[in-house]
Structure 1
């Protein structure tokens, strides 16, 4: 879907920062909405979506069990 979003789970990435998750969320919301930067009247919805996707990403990554990881 969006080639600029990188895989954030081990073994592809050992350490993932909040900034990494937020950047991926931003790319996802940009792709889905079709906006690089939304107009002022859409900014609140856009920012809320980025926050929600970043939160979901953090929950997902903290819940995954990667076999063979120590």
Structure 2
């Protein structure tokens, strides 16, 4: 499922931007809902789901701890805020 979503944590990606997180969230919601683009009557709930998944992804990436070679806390999420 969602094989096109790329890994967002180091070492796969050293710097993650908000656009990367949003794209992954959108891919996930599209896959789960079965809609590439929702109808107008589903747009609000679709967008809310993308926002919720993006928020959960930001939280996950900010709290993950990568151990091993060059162990470091993963806190490289860059937002446009």
Question: TM-score category by the smaller chain?
Answer: over 0.9
2:71 corresponds in structure 1 to 69
2:77 corresponds in structure 1 to none
1:42 corresponds in structure 2 to 42
Number of residues of Structure 1 aligned to a counterpart in Structure 2: 70
Residue 3 of structure 1, CA deviation:
1.1
TM value normalised by structure 2: 0.83
In terms of fraction of residues, the more helix-rich structure is 1
4+ runs deviating over 4 angstroms = none
* Equivalent-residue separation in structure 2 for 1:61 and 1:35 (angstroms): 26
* Equivalent-residue separation in structure 1 for 2:12 and 2:63 (angstroms): 16
**Structure 1 unmatched runs, 5+:** none
RMSD of aligned Cα (Å)? 0.8
**Structure 2 unmatched runs, 5+:** 73-81
